[in-house]
Amino acid sequence: RIAELPTSTAGHTHCPYCALQCAMTVNPGAGRAPAQVSPAWFPTNRGGLCRKGWTAAELLDHPDRITTPLVRVGGELEPCDWDTALERVADGIRRAQATGGPDGVAVFGGGGLTNEKAYQLGKFTRLALGSRLIDYNGRWCMSSAAAAANLSFGLDRGLPFPVTDLSHARAVLLIGANPADTMPPFLQHLDGAAAAGGLVVADPRLTATARRALDGGGVHLRLRPGTDASLLMGLLHLVVVGGHLDPSYIDARTSGFDEAWGHAAAWLPERTERVTGVSVAQLERTVAMLAEGRRGHGDPACSDPACSDRNRDARGGSYVLTARGAEQHADGSSVVGAAIALALALGLPGRPGSGYGTLTGQGNGQGGREHGQKADQLPGYRSITDPAARAHVADVWGVDPAELPGPGLSAFELLDSLGAPEGPSAMLVHASNPVVSAPDADRVVARLRALDTLVVADFVLSETAALADVVLPVTQWAEEEGTLTNLEGRVLRRRRTVTPPAGARDELWIWNELARRLDRGPERFPVDPRAVFDELARASAGGPADYSAIDWDRLDAGEALHWPCGIDSPGGTPRLFLDRFATPDGRARFALDGVRPPAEPPDAEFPLLGTTGRLLAHYQSGAQTRRVTELAAAEPRMWVQAHPVVARAAGLDDGDPAQVVSRRGSVRAVVRCDEDMRTDTVFLPFHFGGDGRANRLTLPELDPRSRMPEFKVCAVRLEAA
Ligand code: SF4
């Protein structure tokens, strides 16, 4: 039975994993009894949890938990006290900066850090270390969607409307999204569209979400991997020639349509079918469904009690939603630009009950990119090259703007510079496991090994921590206080419900200690998360992601506060763009590029398209979920999904051990034959370690705008192991 708890209840917190941030209570357990999770009601999950959420408490007292610092001695990691470990880190920083200057040290963060930690990590890097070299794993998550939204709307907030708005939609086009596996409770918000036969899923695989669409009479667009932009151009073409444009909306609220049509005009349905493998009939049906679905948008009188007052205007409508399948490409920002253009042509964004959005992945994927751990940004989602932004943040930090370093390197470029003659010789890694999650992962391992000092803060010995010179054991979700920002831009409280193990420390304490040992003004790095939030809110004031009217008391009282929430919008902004977009002229821009083919097409040596993705049982690099008994039992080892014809051509059958090979490396995996797979494609989940790391195959070709790597397509061959 699901408890319907207000968000202010003690013990009430949110799941440690994905950006849906399902609500739960954590019972710490009496005596030696383990902690237990119970679901709680919250608008995004409405009492639902997936199996990852249900089992999240197991990691709190897992036998693999690191509870004492480790330092490398004679090639082995050995336990030590905190003083020894932190001195070793400080020595490594001093050594690296003595030879390499401030940029002799690099920092790599993560989208799982709380808002307070994401903020403090950026500040620590730029002020205490004086380094410009910070980036984070969110660069590989949805940076291309962020770049495209900034270009078209002038602002990036994953969903610019509450998740609950989707419940009233009549048509939803999901491009490269499989929420049935990645965030199952989200699916209930698509039930209305699915029941109306209006759910369309564009995905090279027949995923659980695509099956849901078909079961409701919807559509599965089984496109060839890497042809997302072509598909969207073809759909845009059909909107125009089919008479489905919304001319008054385009005139009043957008710019650049004529130029966009200059790109889309050539994408005739037959050409789109030839390139993508999606039939003309399916393309036409998709456009008709989206056009028909929007008939309801803007209708008043939603009576759903789960909706806020503003949701009462959000009935009906059509949505275009993207996720990593569309975004993790070397043309990812162009793909998302095309998805936004399709939505604009139909007149959807900025209208109650319709819109475009991206489904953020990591738990704090949204907040993680707003507070300054990104190479090109300062807190408040401000550009680090904007003189006014630099002056504002420098004022909050009490320094001269000239003291703030400039932009650094994007995540892969940063890792690729490690250990080079002019590159950093020390790096701090927080909340990330790039040995598994970086593209061309073996190249990254070589770079990490070239460092003089690698420091990893984690609560288990991840694959990256296993390479470190110093491992710092840190607290985890149910042991910390702070805030996160979910996929709809709503700021949430994470609450401490369990006492951390004696040897673990909070990252805020670690950065304060390092600043003290380096004599870099430890008083500038408070350890109280509430004090950090208050400073973060001031630093964000007037910026795109304005938190300045938010405080913990309001959050603890259960207020639903979506940013921007500042002097002009003290009640928060659940829906963005209702009156104007955030561009200088208030209009949304059609921002289409030409279509770029995948960077590495198949050839005689590597004849198949390799694509990667997620499983229901695991999260990100799997460092956490592979250690949870039930999840490990459900998905214990790496596998590769292939059509039986493809497997047989390699002399393989279902269950056989196989090897998948690309120009960069090879992966060991068990074959899973599936009649529904395309015969030109194999699929690999990316959650496994060792020789099952899918990213040994992937390509570090980067999107020019966002620096997103080409995770979703590379040329491979399948062979017997
Ligand atoms: Fe909810 Fe995501 Fe956690 Fe699953 S992993 S319980 S969908 S927040």
Last residue of a domain, one of 340, 359, 378: 359
Q: Which domain holds residue 623?
A: 608-720
Residues 343 and 483 in one domain: no
Atom of ligand 1 nearest to the CA of 21: 8
Best residue among 17, 26, 188, 190 to mutate for probing ligand 1's pocket (most ligand atoms within 8 Å of CB) is 17
Last residue of a domain, one of 343, 359, 375: 359
| Amino acid at site 292 | E
Last residue of a domain, one of 359, 376, 395: 359
CB-count burial class (<10 Å; 0-12, 13-18, 19+) for 578: middle
Ligand 1: centre distance to CA 277 (Å): 33
- Any domain includes 149: no
Q: Is the CB of 639 under 6 A from ligand 1?
A: no
First to last CA, the chain: 48
Place of tokens 């799941």: 15
Query: Total domain count for the chain?
Result: 4
Ligand 1: centre distance to CA 75 (Å): 38
CATH number for the domain that contains residue 201: 3.40.228.10
Atom of ligand 1 nearest to the CA of 49: 6
Protein residue with least CA distance to atom 7, ligand 1:
183
**What is the ipTM score, two decimals?**
0.99
Q: Is the CB of 365 under 6 A from ligand 1?
A: no
- Any domain includes 581: no
Ligand 1: centre distance to CA 21 (Å): 6
pLDDT per 10-residue tile (average), the chain, 721 residues? 48 92 89 83 93 96 96 96 98 97 97 97 98 96 95 97 93 97 96 94 98 97 97 98 95 97 97 98 98 70 41 69 96 97 97 93 92 95 96 98 97 95 96 98 98 98 98 96 97 93 96 98 96 98 96 93 96 95 98 92 97 97 96 98 98 98 98 97 97 97 96 97 92
Residues 499 and 459 in one domain: yes
Protein residue with least CA distance to atom 6, ligand 1:
53
Asked if 328 and 710 count as a contact pair (C-beta separation under 8 A), the reply is yes
What is the secondary structure of 366-406 as a DSSP string? HHHTTSS-STTEETTTEETT-HHHHHHHHHHHTS-GGGS--
Residues 338 and 203 in one domain: yes
CATH number for the domain that contains residue 651: 2.40.40.20
Residues 219 and 338 in one domain: yes
- Any domain includes 520: yes
What is the secondary structure of 183-217 as a DSSP string? -GGGGGGGHHHHHTT-EEEE-SS--HHHHHHHHTT
- Any domain includes 565: no
Place of tokens 């380096």: 518
Atom of ligand 1 nearest to the CA of 182: 7
Ligand 1: centre distance to CA 168 (Å): 22
Ligand 1: centre distance to CA 190 (Å): 16
φ and ψ at 685, to 5 degrees? -70, 150
Residues 429 and 549 in one domain: yes
Q: Is the CB of 19 under 6 A from ligand 1?
A: no
| Amino acid at site 466 | A
- Any domain includes 595: no
| Dist CA 644 CA 654 (whole Å) | 8
Residues 400 and 292 in one domain: no
Ligand 1: centre distance to CA 15 (Å): 6
Residues 74 and 42 in one domain: no
Q: Is the CB of 107 under 6 A from ligand 1?
A: no
- Any domain includes 713: yes
Ligand 1: centre distance to CA 625 (Å): 12
Residues 414 and 481 in one domain: yes
Residues 293 and 348 in one domain: yes
Asked if 139 and 469 count as a contact pair (C-beta separation under 8 A), the reply is no
Q: Residue 571: what pLDDT?
A: 95
CATH number for the domain that contains residue 18: 2.20.25.90
Say what the alpha-carbon torsion angle 584, 590, 594, 599 is, to the nearest 10 degrees.
70
| Amino acid at site 91 | D
Best residue among 2, 14, 45 to mutate for probing ligand 1's pocket (most ligand atoms within 8 Å of CB) is 45
Asked if 484 and 22 count as a contact pair (C-beta separation under 8 A), the reply is no
- Any domain includes 1: no
Q: Residue 306: what pLDDT?
A: 38
Protein residue with least CA distance to atom 2, ligand 1:
18
Q: Which residues pair with 587 in a beta bridge?
A: none
Q: Residue 315: what pLDDT?
A: 61
Q: What is the pLDDT of residues 429-484, one digit of tens each?
A: 999 999 999 999 999 999 999 999 999 999 999 999 999 999 999 999 999 999 99
Residues 137 and 179 in one domain: no
Instruction: Compute the residue count for the chain.
Output: 721
**CA 359 from centroid of its chain's CA atoms:** 8
Residues 209 and 327 in one domain: yes
| Dist CA 132 CA 445 (whole Å) | 22
Ligand 1: centre distance to CA 179 (Å): 10
CATH number for the domain that contains residue 81: 3.40.50.740
φ and ψ at 35, to 5 degrees? -65, 150
Containing 172, the helix (H) or strand (E) segment is: strand 171-175
- Any domain includes 564: no
CB-count burial class (<10 Å; 0-12, 13-18, 19+) for 83: exposed
Q: Is the CB of 46 under 6 A from ligand 1?
A: no
Q: Residue 427: what pLDDT?
A: 98
Residue 134 CA: distances (Å) to CA of 53, 111, 123, 142: 30, 13, 10, 17
Ligand 1: centre distance to CA 192 (Å): 21
Residues 289 and 209 in one domain: yes
Asked if 565 and 540 count as a contact pair (C-beta separation under 8 A), the reply is no
Residue 480 CA: distances (Å) to CA of 6, 69, 101, 471, 484: 20, 19, 34, 19, 12
Q: What is the pLDDT of residues 123-145, one digit of tens each?
A: 999 999 999 999 999 999 989 99
